[in-house]
């Protein structure tokens, strides 16, 4: 009986937790994302169309490895009102049983996208199409049409675009070059130059240009473009579609020639066109890329990698390859990056990597969030969200002014040594020289608090965040003494090897307690330090991991201090309240998102 009651209670608890989860608007990139039938959403390399208040997600409907019934292959469609709960609408496009059709089972359908044509009132789907048994040689694009958004779409044909016509922006002199591919060593400088000068455009002029990874984009005036990796994946082509979106007009533009871009995902924001792409490494992720243009057809300017994670995360775009950028309905300037984390041995199991697009100096960037809330706007740096405001958080730095900080000795913010750049408070190297910056402290004092600070240290840097700083101690002679959350490049700064058993390393309580669980994002990457003080109890956190925990003002604390370099400071770390300090140790370090809440 007792057992039954326990089991029932557990089931009830499970249901409560489950229903709570259902009500939340949480996106969990990389996890299984169940659809209305409880199956992982099978729409890969896809895109989303917003129509009459509903989102429709189209993507590759891949078969699990064990699947024998290849006739179920095609383009999956799912619908949703809230971007979280997705109803399986079945296959929008399905391979045909007809073995004479290009669309027979065994062909490859990738990166399908759907747009709505206002003139014909029809939904038009384009996709990358490879023929049965031919690997990726055919490099075709297929088109299908439907009066209903969810389909079924009627397959029209597959083709190589723009046969017999030159790109609008290929310089005249390149049209008559006679360089031959076989004469050049693949990948050599000469070969790359020849590619940039239209080697493959000339080769494919008569039969049509190659079309592999693709997306569609409807410009402000309703003109639609089919954007595809062409020229052996070396150059993107932006090909204008006819008014009904079912064919090519023959006007097309080469973009980033020789740039070797795949997985294009475009959006328009802040008066500019932006495009995420990837490099060409098959199913393996590579460093993401970003480009910007004033006009859709160019010129496109590369802006580097849009990822803001650790070096390793940036190298693989958080384990994803771009597929689409979704403008969020009803939220101006709000976009979501959609990517695929491919599982080549079972493509159906590939995961969806959805991340909010954030802005850094008017450039879109992406950060990794293991989970994030769709209903919470993405908060720019040095700004509090409404949730944080409700929770009592206060900013100690607004990204522009230093009103809440002053030199620990002079009580005036230093004129040199520290600067504000790109929303960060930065110590310049060499600032410790006479007349330089010096340590800065808060104008206010704090007793029980949670402090969070993002910091980015330069190679070999040394700095620190101190708390319980008493600037008046010993008539100001001890103005910079306090408990210190150590900031250090452990790999290169010799101080990491000093002290006892690592108690001077990053996230330690300097010279007193060595840190545990250190996850260091490395030099020139942002890290987050958190210090929590509640009465005698103190904790240090680094990048979400607890590194140090201690109680002060206890016999054990005094014992610890008595063996450290602070042994001669009477009552070290025991003042009930004190200022916070950012250390100027003469090496470059940046701080931002400095937030505190008291309790």
Query: Are 238 and 293 contacting, i.e. CB atoms less than 8 angstroms apart?
Result: no
260 binds ligand DGJ (CB under 6 A): no
Q: Which is nearer to ligand DGJ, 281 or 443 (CB)?
A: 281
Interaction between residue 283 and ligand DGJ (CB under 6 A): yes
Instruction: Return the number of the residue (213 or 439) whose C-beta is nearest ligand DGJ.
Output: 213
Q: Which residue is nearest to ligand DGJ (CB)?
A: 282
Residue number with CB closer to ligand DGJ (110 or 584) = 110
CB of 109 to ligand DGJ, least distance (A): 11
Residue nearer to ligand DGJ on the CB measure, 282 or 304: 282
Considering beta carbons, is residue 263 or 451 the nearer one to ligand DGJ? Answer: 263
In the complex, what is the shortest distance from the CB of residue 280 to ligand DGJ, in angstroms, rounded to a whole number?
Answer: 7
Q: What minimum distance in Å lies between the beta carbon of 262 and ligand DGJ?
A: 4
Q: Please, what is the minimum distance in Å from the beta carbon of residue 284 to ligand DGJ?
A: 9
Query: Tokens 């958190």 identify what position?
Result: 530
Q: Binding of ligand DGJ at residue 321 (CB under 6 A)?
A: yes
Judged by CB under 6 A, the chain residues 4 through 23 that form the site for ligand DGJ are none
Angle at the Cα of 210 (from 206 to 212), degrees rounded to 5? 165
- How far apart are alpha carbons 261 and 182 in whole angstroms? 23
Interaction between residue 284 and ligand DGJ (CB under 6 A): no
- 232 touches ligand DGJ by CB under 6 A: no
Nearer to ligand DGJ, 297 or 321 (CB): 321
Max CA separation in the chain (angstroms): 93
Q: Counting contacts by CB under 6 A, is residue 137 touching ligand DGJ? A: no
Q: Given the complex with ligand DGJ, which of 229 and 587 has the nearer CB atom?
A: 229
| Window 107 to 126, contacts with ligand DGJ (CB under 6 A) | 110-111
- Write down the least CB distance from residue 285 to ligand DGJ, Å: 10
Give least dist CB 321 to ligand DGJ, A.
Answer: 6
CB of 545 to ligand DGJ, least distance (A): 34
Task: Give residues 475-534 in contact with ligand DGJ (rule: CB under 6 A).
Answer: none
129 binding ligand DGJ? (CB under 6 A): no
**Residue 59 CB, nearest distance to ligand DGJ (Å)?**
11
Record the tokens describing residue 289, joined without a space: 């890329």
Contacting ligand DGJ within 367-396 (CB under 6 A):
none
Q: Least distance to ligand DGJ from the beta carbon of 579, Å?
A: 53
Question: Whose Cβ is closer to ligand DGJ: residue 127's or residue 273's?
Answer: 127
Is 262 a binding residue for ligand DGJ by CB under 6 A? The answer is yes
Closest CB to ligand DGJ among residues 283, 599: 283
> Quick one: which of 64, 207, 222, 282 contacts ligand DGJ (CB under 6 A)?
282
Which of 33, 35, 42, 45 touches ligand DGJ (CB under 6 A)?
A: 45
Out of 89, 213, 484, 489, the only residue in the binding site for ligand DGJ (CB under 6 A) is: 213
Q: How far is the CB of 212 from ligand DGJ (least distance, A)?
A: 6
Tell me which DSSP letter residue 446 carries: B
Tell me how far, at minimum, the Cβ of 93 lies from ligand DGJ, in Å: 17
Determine if 263 is a binding residue for ligand DGJ (CB under 6 A).
yes
Q: Which residues fall within 8 angstroms of residue 339, CB to CB, at 6 or more apart? A: 317, 318, 320, 321, 322, 323, 352, 353, 354, 355
Instruction: For the chain, report the end-to-end CA distance as a whole number of angstroms.
Output: 46
Contact 515, 540 (CB under 8 A): yes
Q: What gap in Å lies between CA 507 and CA 584, rounded to an integer? A: 17
Smallest CA-to-CA distance from 460 within 487, 437, 432, 488 is with 488
Element (H, E) at 173: helix 172-175
**CA dist., res. 373 & res. 491, Å (int):** 36
Smallest gap from residue 131 Cβ to ligand DGJ (A): 14
The neighbour count for residue 494, using CB atoms within 10 Å, is 10
Q: Are 197 and 229 in contact (CB under 8 A)?
A: no
Nearest to 209 by CA among 178, 143, 165, 172: 165
DSSP 62: P
E strands in 458-578: 462-469, 483-488, 527-534, 537-542, 545-551
Residue 108: both structure tokens together:
């490859």
Q: Give 569's Cβ-side CA count (13 Å radius).
A: 20
Q: How many residues bind ligand DGJ (CB under 6 A)?
A: 9
**Is 155:96 a contact under the CB 8 Å cutoff?**
yes
Distances (CA, A) of 118 to 29, 204, 509: 34, 33, 64
Closer of 74 and 573 to ligand DGJ (Cβ):
74
What whole-number distance in Å separates Cα of residue 314 and Cα of residue 312? 5
Q: Which two tokens stand for residue 493?
A: 């700064």
- Give the C-alpha separation, 572 to 103, whole Å: 77
Phi, psi of 191 (to 5 degrees): -60, -45
Which residues are near ligand DGJ by CB under 6 A? 45, 110-111, 213, 262-263, 282-283, 321
């Amino acid at each position: 009986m007792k057992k039954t009651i326990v089991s029932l209670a557990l089931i009830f608890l499970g249901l409560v937790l489950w229903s709570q989860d259902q009500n939340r608007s949480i996106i969990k990139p990389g996890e299984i994302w169940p659809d209305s039938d409880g199956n992982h959403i099978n729409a890969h390399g896809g895109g989303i169309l917003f129509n009459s208040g509903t989102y429709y997600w189209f993507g590759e409907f891949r078969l699990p490895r064990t699947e024998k019934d290849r006739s179920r292959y095609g383009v999956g469609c799912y619908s949703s009102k809230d971007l979280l709960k997705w109803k399986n609408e079945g296959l929008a496009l399905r391979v045909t049983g007809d073995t004479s059709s290009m669309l027979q089972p065994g062909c490859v359908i990738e990166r399908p996208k759907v747009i709505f044509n206002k003139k014909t009132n029809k939904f038009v789907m384009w996709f990358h199409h490879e023929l049965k048994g031919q690997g990726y040689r055919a490099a075709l694009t297929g088109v299908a049409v439907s009066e209903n958004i969810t389909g079924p779409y009627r397959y029209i044909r597959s083709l190589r675009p723009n046969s017999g016509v030159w790109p609008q922006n290929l310089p005249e002199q390149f049209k008559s070059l006679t360089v031959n591919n076989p004469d050049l060593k693949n990948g050599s400088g000469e070969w790359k130059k020849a590619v940039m000068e239209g080697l493959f455009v000339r080769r494919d002029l008569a039969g049509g240009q190659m079309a592999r990874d693709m997306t569609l984009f409807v410009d402000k005036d309703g003109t639609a473009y089919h954007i595809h990796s062409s020229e052996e994946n070396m150059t993107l082509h932006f090909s204008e579609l006819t008014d009904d979106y079912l064919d090519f007009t023959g006007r097309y533009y080469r973009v980033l020639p020789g740039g070797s871009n795949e997985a294009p995902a475009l959006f328009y924001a802040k008066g500019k066109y932006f495009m995420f792409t990837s490099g060409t490494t098959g199913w393996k992720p590579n460093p993401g890329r970003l480009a910007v243009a004033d006009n859709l057809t160019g010129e496109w300017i590369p802006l580097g990698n849009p990822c803001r994670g650790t070096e390793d995360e940036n190298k693989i775009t958080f384990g994803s390859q771009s597929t689409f950028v979704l403008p969020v309905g009803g939220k101006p300037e709000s976009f979501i990056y959609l990517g695929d984390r491919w599982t080549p041995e079972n493509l159906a199991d590939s995961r969806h990597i959805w991340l909010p697009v954030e802005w850094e100096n008017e450039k879109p960037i992406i950060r990794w969030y293991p989970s994030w809330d769709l209903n919470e706007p993405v908060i720019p740096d040095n700004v509090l969200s409404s949730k944080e405001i409700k929770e009592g958080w206060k900013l100690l730095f607004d990204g522009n002014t230093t009103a809440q900080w002053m030199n620990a000795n002079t009580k005036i913010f230093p004129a040199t040594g520290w600067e504000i750049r790109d929303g960060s408070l930065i110590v310049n190297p060499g600032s410790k020289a006479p007349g330089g910056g010096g340590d800065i402290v808060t104008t206010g004092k704090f007793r029980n608090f949670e402090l969070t600070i993002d910091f980015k240290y330069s190679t070999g840097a040394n700095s620190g965040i101190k708390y319980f700083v008493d600037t008046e101690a010993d008539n100001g002679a001890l103005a910079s003494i306090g408990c210190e959350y150590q900031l250090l490049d452990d790999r290169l700064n010799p101080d990491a090897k000093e002290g006892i058993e690592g108690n001077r390393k990053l996230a330690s309580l300097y010279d007193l307690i060595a840190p545990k669980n250190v996850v260091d994002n490395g030099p020139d990457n942002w890290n987050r330090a958190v210090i929590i003080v509640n009465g005698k109890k103190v904790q240090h956190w680094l990048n979400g991991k607890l590194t140090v925990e201690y109680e002060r003002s206890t016999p054990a604390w005094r014992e610890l201090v008595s063996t450290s370099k602070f042994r001669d400071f009477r009552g070290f770390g025991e003042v009930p309240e004190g200022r916070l300090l950012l250390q100027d140790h003469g090496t470059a370090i940046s701080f931002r998102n400095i937030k505190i809440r008291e309790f």
